[in-house]
A and B are shown apart, each in its own frame.
Chain A
Amino acid sequence: MASLTKQRITPASLLPAAACLPLTYSAIAHAHERFIKHDLRHAVDKAFFGRNPDAFLGINPNMTLVGLHVAVIVAAFLVIWFLRNRIEQFVERRLFGFLKGKPQRMLHMLGCFVVDRPVKGRIFHAISEWAVIFFMRSPGLVLMYSASNDSLVMPSYPLDPASANAFKFLQVGVAILILTQTLLPLCGAIVVGLWIYLIRWGWMVSIDAAPVLTVAIVYMASPWLSHKVAITDINKQQMRMLRLVLGGGFFALGWLKVYNYNLVAGVGDNYPSVMNDPLMKLLAVGTDPAYARESWIVAFGMAEIMSGFLLMMGVFTRVWAAIMFFMFTKLMLVDFGWEEIPHIYPLGAMLVVITSSKHSCEFEKIEELSDRLARQGRTARQMLSIAGPAIAVSLLLIFPILFALTFIDRSTL
């Protein structure tokens, strides 16, 4: 059945979120401690992340190198993105021009998948519908799990024994509403309220939990009589919001890793397998081996900044969401194990992004200009209209914040 969700979030659905604000003054959940161990086993060289007066922009050269690698990759992805239609046409019409019938349509669907165009196929559509159902229901399972484990949403937030029962019943109540798809705007507001509540433990905690807002947005944009409709699709506007929040969340998380480098180093010390990621090794190519751990931290953060940014902007959305889905699943199942099972809800969000046919891009104006110049036969100007913004965006994405961070002493975080 088609989507019957609302087109936008109404003030009425925001009211319950406001009502949840007083919760932030409650002291029911008493502590925030990361479930994933992150105690440092070896000190990190804090000078690496501070001012380096002799270096370019005062940034450690190893950090600059990792940043440059990311900027080059982002610029390349942007250029390929702006030329994607030509490339796709070349592949379909020239390289595989001999195909016809079903094989030709399969290749076309694969091309559509890669360049974020609608994929019109029975199986893909069925998976897409299932992904929406999974995404909408999985927070209910997470709440049930956390209630049975004396925690608030995640094992990271254990409940105070004195008031644990009240919060456990509340979570089960919300979970029942979610699983029965009842009063979804209220569920969305409560999720937002819980997210606001997390700010009491610091802004870094709220950034860490930002992906939970993806599902809250979809709930809040659902009809109040949500139990009466089969929600198996999310519209273009909801998808844009989901993409912006999910990508923005990972973008912020990436910078948080560079900012709070001790925590990331601690995770690396306790789970050495996370340091063997090929993407991070690629980003750290050419850095000084004496600073391998520090360079890995920057590469880890930059990988999230890059993927989060491209996802946020709608550049190869499905590809990046698929990469993140794979990496997240590996982290959850292989590296960290059962304790990270509540992360099924961001996995659900990624699955929805991967299988959606409602994608858009934040660089549409640049594409329009480029297409217009191409139709007028102004190839040189068209290339300039592509390369200029791609280079500017990729450099501005990395270096201003990296430069600013060198002025902040984070060694005591």
Chain B
Amino acid sequence: MSIERLRAVPIFEKLSDADLASIEKVAVREKFPPEKAIFFEGDPSDSLYIITGGTVKVFQTSDDGKEKILNTMGAGAFFGEIAMLDGGPRSASVAAVSETEMLVIRHKDFRDCVVRAPELLWKVLEAVVGHTRRQSEQLLDLTFHDVPYRLLRRLSQLIAKHGVKEAKGTRLGIKLSTADLAGMIGSSPERVSRLLNKFQTDKLLFLDENDAIVVPDPVALDSAAEAVKDWV
């Protein structure tokens, strides 16, 4: 990967050419097809993954095999930082949703890079803090807000992150089932399915010919979320 392309990755944007050249030497480029698990929860951890193209889902699996999607990530994001820092086992599984390309940096190489470019460590710290912040927000949502708000808010976030603008509105660029959405907001697939039908009736969204969620007006989705925020 060229230095120019490396600089386009947010985590590396402030590094010098010399630092980028050293990263180029140690970073391994890997491609993952859709449905390929990059690693599983509990796996030993040794590497940091930086997405340069495509989308991945971060999920946990219950004892009886039910999946709960915690997050989705696209180009520019990176993951695996927590387990790489503390050496513990992976806290969640990550799988490619679409054809995904990423840079993989081993723990030992990352340490060497950080010694030369401490800015890298700040970026990783920001990600760790962001992770903690997201968890706090989710906890607050689960505690204080009802399912309609949580679903609208999550749809709004997903559209902002993975939305593809089209003539009829913004299409959600990743395929998620009602069970996936239910897992993300701590509800049941049945409840999510009923709410999605209601949101379609309210013209907040519709399903296209490929059953992908399309939001005609993302601002209206945000407004609807605010409107149902205090429902009990």
Tell me the A residues contacting B by CB distance below 8 Å. 85-86, 89, 100-101, 104-105, 108, 112, 117-118, 120-122, 124-126, 357, 371-372, 375, 377
B61 within 8 A of A: yes
CB-CB under 8 A from B63, the residues of chain A are: 118, 120, 125, 357
Minimum distance in angstroms from B85 CB to a CB of chain A = 11
B35 within 8 A of A: yes
Q: Report the stretch among B6-14, B36-44, B139-147 that lies at the interface.
A: B36-44
| Alpha-carbon distance between A104 and B174 when the two chains are bound, in angstroms | 21
| Alpha-carbon distance between A171 and B115 when the two chains are bound, in angstroms | 71
| Alpha-carbon distance between A157 and B65 when the two chains are bound, in angstroms | 45
| Alpha-carbon distance between A125 and B61 when the two chains are bound, in angstroms | 12
CB-CB under 8 A from B44, the residues of chain A are: 85-86, 89, 371
Residue in A85, A126, A371, A375 whose Cβ sees the most chain B Cβ within 10 Å: A375
Minimum distance in angstroms from B14 CB to a CB of chain A = 27
Residue in B36, B43, B63, B65 whose Cβ sees the most chain A Cβ within 10 Å: B63
B107 within 8 A of A: yes
The binding surface of chain A is classed by DSSP as helix
Minimum distance in angstroms from B168 CB to a CB of chain A = 31
| Alpha-carbon distance between A108 and B61 when the two chains are bound, in angstroms | 13
Flag B175-216 by CB within 8 Å of A: 1 or 0 each. 000000000000000000000000000000000000000000
List 23 interface pairs A-B (beta carbons < 8 Å), by A numbering: A85-B43, A85-B44, A86-B44, A100-B34, A100-B35, A100-B37, A101-B35, A101-B36, A104-B36, A105-B37, A112-B42, A118-B63, A120-B62, A120-B63, A121-B65, A122-B65, A125-B63, A126-B64, A357-B63, A371-B44, A371-B87, A375-B108, A377-B108
B33 within 8 A of A: yes
Whether A108 pairs with B87 at a CB distance below 8 angstroms is no
State whether A120 and B65 are in contact (beta carbons under 8 Å apart), knowing that A112-B42, A377-B108 are contacts in the complex: yes
Interface residues of B in 79-116 (CB under 8 A from A): 87, 107-108
Whether B87 pairs with A104 at a CB distance below 8 angstroms is no
CB-CB under 8 A from A377, the residues of chain B are: 108
State whether A118 and B42 are in contact (beta carbons under 8 Å apart), knowing that A100-B37, A104-B36 are contacts in the complex: yes
Which listed residue (B33, B42, B62, B107) contacts A117, Cβ 8 A? Answer: B42
State whether A120 and B61 are in contact (beta carbons under 8 Å apart), knowing that A89-B43, A375-B107 are contacts in the complex: yes
Closest 6 CB pairs of A and B: A100-B36, A101-B35, A125-B64, A122-B65, A85-B44, A120-B61
Tell me the B residues contacting A by CB distance below 8 Å. 33-37, 40, 42-44, 46, 61-66, 87, 107-108
CB-CB under 8 A from B65, the residues of chain A are: 120-122, 124-125
| Alpha-carbon distance between A357 and B33 when the two chains are bound, in angstroms | 30
| Alpha-carbon distance between A89 and B39 when the two chains are bound, in angstroms | 10
Question: In this complex, what residue of B is CB-closest to A111?
Answer: B40
State whether A375 and B35 are in contact (beta carbons under 8 Å apart), knowing that A85-B44, A89-B44 are contacts in the complex: no
| Alpha-carbon distance between A377 and B40 when the two chains are bound, in angstroms | 24
CB-CB under 8 A from A105, the residues of chain B are: 37
A104-B35, A125-B63, A375-B108 are known; give 11 further A-B pairs, CB within 8 A: A86-B44, A101-B35, A104-B37, A112-B42, A120-B61, A120-B64, A120-B65, A121-B65, A122-B66, A125-B65, A375-B87
| Alpha-carbon distance between A377 and B110 when the two chains are bound, in angstroms | 13
| Alpha-carbon distance between A142 and B119 when the two chains are bound, in angstroms | 68
Question: In this complex, what residue of A is CB-closest to B60?
Answer: A120
Minimum distance in angstroms from B126 CB to a CB of chain A = 23
CB-CB under 8 A from A118, the residues of chain B are: 42, 63
CB-CB under 8 A from B40, the residues of chain A are: 108
| Alpha-carbon distance between A147 and B107 when the two chains are bound, in angstroms | 63
Whether A100 pairs with B108 at a CB distance below 8 angstroms is no
Minimum distance in angstroms from B64 CB to a CB of chain A = 4
Whether B108 pairs with A122 at a CB distance below 8 angstroms is no
Minimum distance in angstroms from B111 CB to a CB of chain A = 9
| Alpha-carbon distance between A121 and B42 when the two chains are bound, in angstroms | 15
CB-CB under 8 A from B64, the residues of chain A are: 120-122, 125-126
| Alpha-carbon distance between A124 and B33 when the two chains are bound, in angstroms | 28
CB-CB under 8 A from A108, the residues of chain B are: 37, 40
CB-CB under 8 A from A375, the residues of chain B are: 46, 87, 107-108
Minimum distance in angstroms from B185 CB to a CB of chain A = 21
CB-CB under 8 A from A357, the residues of chain B are: 63
| Alpha-carbon distance between A349 and B46 when the two chains are bound, in angstroms | 36
| Alpha-carbon distance between A112 and B44 when the two chains are bound, in angstroms | 12
Question: In this complex, what residue of B is CB-closest to A104?
Answer: B37
Question: In this complex, what residue of B is CB-closest to A2?
Answer: B63
Minimum distance in angstroms from B46 CB to a CB of chain A = 8
Question: In this complex, what residue of B is CB-closest to A85?
Answer: B44
Residue in B43, B62, B107 whose Cβ sees the most chain A Cβ within 10 Å: B43
Minimum distance in angstroms from A100 CB to a CB of chain B = 4
CB-CB under 8 A from B37, the residues of chain A are: 100, 104-105, 108
Minimum distance in angstroms from B79 CB to a CB of chain A = 17
CB-CB under 8 A from B87, the residues of chain A are: 371-372, 375
Residue in A86, A100, A124, A371 whose Cβ sees the most chain B Cβ within 10 Å: A100
Question: In this complex, what residue of A is CB-closest to B66?
Answer: A122
